């Protein structure tokens, strides 16, 4: 493949990319808005799941504490029966058993106090935040759904044309040298998709800078890649395109 053909293929690629970009631009900021709303939705969902997990941990802890209190109550009742039965043989045994009852009652009170003072406040805060998140999610979902429908409608209008252009692009890429494509993409990434510029009447149509006459002649020979000294785009002579 001659150098002229290589440059011309990059020009044709740039032409397709420009047309695709124009079609995509019809969507405006809808895709970006969808991304923002999807990200916001994920953050809210993640936060809600985090809060639900914390609430589950609190409930599980309270359940464990309640089980412990139930066991302590059983122990208190059992020891109280022993105290009342008169079966104890010494004051030492009586005092030890009475202390166990006191310790168990103290433990139950402490458990109930912790649940009331610490857990109750935190649970209320979690539930309030979950209600707030639910409202925010409802608003986000409504707006997200509206934007998705708008994008779907716009895509229907341009879908066939985009599909055809994408197919043409894929076919063209098969004939473009990987190094040429890499060179094209580097420039395209910093020139808003305009990597190739036509030289017409001694001017670069990418930035409208003047091209020295001698260089304009060399560009028409297309014996290598030439770049605009002002904008850095790949240059192609108009005569090559119209030949």
- For residue range 153-191, list pLDDT tens digits in order: 988 888 889 999 999 999 999 999 999 999 999 999 999
Question: Of 156, 173, 190, which residue sits at a domain end?
Answer: 173
The three-class DSSP label of residue 183 is helix
Q: With contact defined as beta carbons under 8 Å apart, do 165 and 177 qualify? A: no
CATH number at residue 168: 1.10.287
Decide if pLDDT at 78 tops 90: no
Residue 197 pairs in a beta bridge with 235
Decide if pLDDT at 117 tops 80: no
Look at phi and psi of residue 236 and say left if phi exceeds 0, alpha if psi is from -120 to 50, else beta.
beta
Between CA 191 and CA 201, with CA 197 as vertex, the angle to 5 degrees is 140
Q: pLDDT grade, residue 193 (50/70/90)?
A: confident
Could you tell me if 102 and 221 lie in one domain?
A: no
- Rounded percentage of the chain residues whose pLDDT exceeds 90: 63
Q: Which domain holds residue 218?
A: 178-242
Could you tell me if 151 and 198 lie in one domain?
A: no
What tokens were used for 120? 């109750």
* Nearest to 84, CA basis, from 60, 101, 71, 68: 101
pTM of the shown model:
0.60
Could you tell me if 183 and 165 lie in one domain?
A: no
- Rounded percentage of the chain residues whose pLDDT exceeds 70: 99
Decide if pLDDT at 65 tops 90: no
- pLDDT, average across residues 80-89: 79
Question: Of 136, 154, 173, which residue sits at a domain end?
Answer: 173
């Amino acid at each position: 493949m001659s150098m002229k053909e290589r440059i011309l293929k990059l020009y044709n690629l740039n032409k397709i990319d420009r047309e695709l970009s124009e079609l995509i631009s019809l969507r405006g900021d809808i895709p970006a808005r969808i991304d923002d709303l999807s990200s916001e939705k994920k953050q809210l969902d993640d936060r809600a799941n985090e809060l639900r997990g914390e609430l589950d941990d609190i409930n599980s802890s309270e359940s464990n504490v309640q089980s412990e209190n139930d066991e302590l109550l059983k122990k208190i009742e059992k020891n109280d029966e022993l105290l009342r039965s008169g079966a104890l043989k010494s004051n030492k045994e009586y005092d030890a058993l009475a202390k166990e009852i006191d310790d168990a009652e103290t433990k139950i009170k402490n458990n109930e106090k912790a649940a009331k003072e610490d857990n109750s406040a935190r649970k209320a805060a979690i539930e309030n935040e979950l209600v707030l998140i639910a409202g925010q999610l409802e608003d986000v979902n409504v707006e997200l759904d509206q934007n998705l429908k708008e994008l779907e409608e716009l895509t229907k209008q341009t879908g066939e044309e985009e599909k055809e252009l994408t197919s043409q692009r894929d076919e063209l890429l098969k004939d473009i040298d990987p190094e040429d494509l890499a060179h094209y993409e580097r420039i395209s990434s910093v020139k808003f998709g305009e990597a190739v510029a036509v030289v017409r009447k001694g001017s670069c149509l990418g930035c409208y800078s003047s091209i020295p006459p001698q260089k304009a002649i060399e560009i028409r020979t297309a014996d290598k890649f030439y770049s605009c000294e002002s904008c850095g785009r790949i240059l192609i002579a108009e005569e090559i395109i119209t030949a």
